[in-house]
Structure 1
């Protein structure tokens, strides 16, 4: 666990916990409003969470070379997460019938 300092660990772990809370709150908001696009947004957030967990796991094991595949998985999940968040946001915009040029 010496790969990161204690303050950096606090930031990493709290960021993961905040992301989990955000996913949960967005899902609940989607249920309360009966708006499926908010639930899609929460699902679109999952790949980014997986990527963050990969990074934390790799650092926890002191950046061991045998776990270097986690870096590739983390990068892949970041790309996938960016795409799923874009699609969820696009769906939300289309659902409220707002033209993207109106922003």
Structure 2
């Protein structure tokens, strides 16, 4: 756990908590606007959340060489998460544009 300083841990943990809160809030917004695809955006955020948890886990164990596979998983989830977020945001944009006069 000594791999990161206390302020850096605070930033890491608060970022994960904020991302979780954003997922919940977007999901709830999606319940009010189901036709816009907001729930898909919330689901698309999950790979990035898991990616962040992989990074925190690796740092928690002092960047142990035996857990280097977590870095690969994190990179893959980041790529996958960015792609799903792009697709979900594009879908929302497309649906919004379709409703404009």
- What TM-score results when the alignment is normalised by the length of structure 1? 0.91
Give the root-mean-square deviation of aligned CA atoms. 1.0
Please list every run of 5 or more consecutive structure 2 residues that lacks an aligned counterpart in the other structure: none
Please list every run of 5 or more consecutive structure 1 residues that lacks an aligned counterpart in the other structure: 99-103
What pairs with 1:46-65 in structure 2 (closer than 5 Å)? Answer: 46-65=46-65
Tell me how far apart the structure 2 counterparts of residues 36 and 47 of structure 1 sit (CA, whole Å).
21
1:36 Cα offset (Å): 4.9
Tell me how far apart the structure 2 counterparts of residues 60 and 43 of structure 1 sit (CA, whole Å).
26
What pairs with 1:1-103 in structure 2 (closer than 5 Å)? Answer: 1-97=1-97
Task: Give CA-to-partner distance per residue, 1:21-48, whole Å, 9 cap, x none.
Answer: 0000000000022235100000000000
SS in 2 for 1:83: helix
After TM superposition, what 4+ stretches of structure 1 lie above 6 angstroms from structure 2? none
**CA contact 2:58–2:64 (8 Å) conserved in 1:** yes
Tell me how far apart the structure 2 counterparts of residues 3 and 72 of structure 1 sit (CA, whole Å).
19
**CA contact 2:36–2:95 (8 Å) conserved in 1:** no
- What TM-score results when the alignment is normalised by the length of structure 2? 0.93
Aligned pair count reads 98
